[in-house]
Amino acid sequence: MTPPPREQVALRQPSRVPVASLPATFTHRVTSMDGGAFYGSDGTGSMRVRLRYNQRDLSDQLKFRFDPPQSVMPQVMVPELRLIARSGRNPAGHYV
């Protein structure tokens, strides 16, 4: 995808109030007859994101993978860790 789109992965309450967000760049897209998927990562490259969507039933699924670098200052990881911590407090699992 040229240029790679920069987006915000946002965690929201059922009332749509934002809880946490993380800038992400999506670099790869896969499409199919039913929908597709976007793949990307945050600015540090430690948080990988996959967003799948289905056009038939209008559903989606967001997955994270967190692989922090071994030699990084803790304050660099605060946005990623905040998103992870607050995602556990979101029982409805609303992600946008």
Q: Residues of 17-47 as b/e, b for ≥16 C-beta within 10 angstroms?
A: eeebbbebbbeeeeeeeebebbebbbeeebb
Prediction pTM value: 0.73
- What does the pLDDT read at residue 36? 95
Determine the pLDDT at residue 84: 82
Residue 91 has pLDDT above 60, yes or no: no
The full set of domain ranges for the chain reads 6-87
What is the per-residue pLDDT across 1-42, written as a single tens digit (0 to 9) for each?
677 778 888 888 778 888 888 899 999 999 999 999 999 999
Q: Name the pLDDT band for 94 (thresholds 50, 70, 90).
A: very low
* Residues 38-88 pLDDT 10s: 999 998 888 898 989 999 998 888 888 888 888 888 888 888 888 888 876
